[in-house]
Chains A and B, each alone.
Chain A
Amino acid sequence: DTVLTQSPALAVSPGERVSISCRASEGVNSYMHWYQQKPGQQPKLLIYKASNLASGVPARFSGSGSGTDFTLTIDPVEADDTATYFCQQSWNDPYTFGAGTKLELK
């Protein structure tokens, strides 16, 4: 299975820029997607196919990368962005998710 590795946690101050990384154990082309999950809620799509902003998602969110290395960037970070962020690949079978990066605000 394709393993997606994310850093476990990050802490930033409101107004700053934060980059959340996701590294795949094998190539996934550009079929990497990003989700935001707040406690007790379902995941919400932010970015699809590496760099495409999902409908209704603020332009503060952006994505980049291809192959094995991907990044989700939030600039500027707002208090409401406190959540866990998951990457997910749909190039290789089975679909897999990263373990999530918990973003906390200082």
Chain B
Amino acid sequence: DGGITQSPKYLFRKEGQNVTLSCEQNLNHDAMYWYRQDPGQGLRLIYYSQIVNDFQKGDIAEGYSVSREKKESFPLTVTSAQKNPTAFYLCASIGLGNQPQHFGDGTRLSIL
């Protein structure tokens, strides 16, 4: 079945450490997105990529980095510069024709 796979489901970060969240899709979608969800808030866009080797900052990109070396993969790195990384992170993708975004099951990141 086609879909989006995020891993790990739970992740813990130590102070000063960079961590990478994985997002893989087999839907052949061109566009991929990373969102952050905090309690009491909706989803906020961190980064998005429309095509391979190209990506743009979203509304809250500071402290995060991404890469898009393959169409299927869009990993998100939470750097030590992100001082409040504890949140739920969702990856999404969209195909042609403005179809609804497909979402992964998310990664919960916590500080040790």
Partners in one complex: no
* Residues of chain A whose beta carbon lies under 8 Å from any beta carbon of chain B: none
Interface residues of B (CB under 8 A from A): none
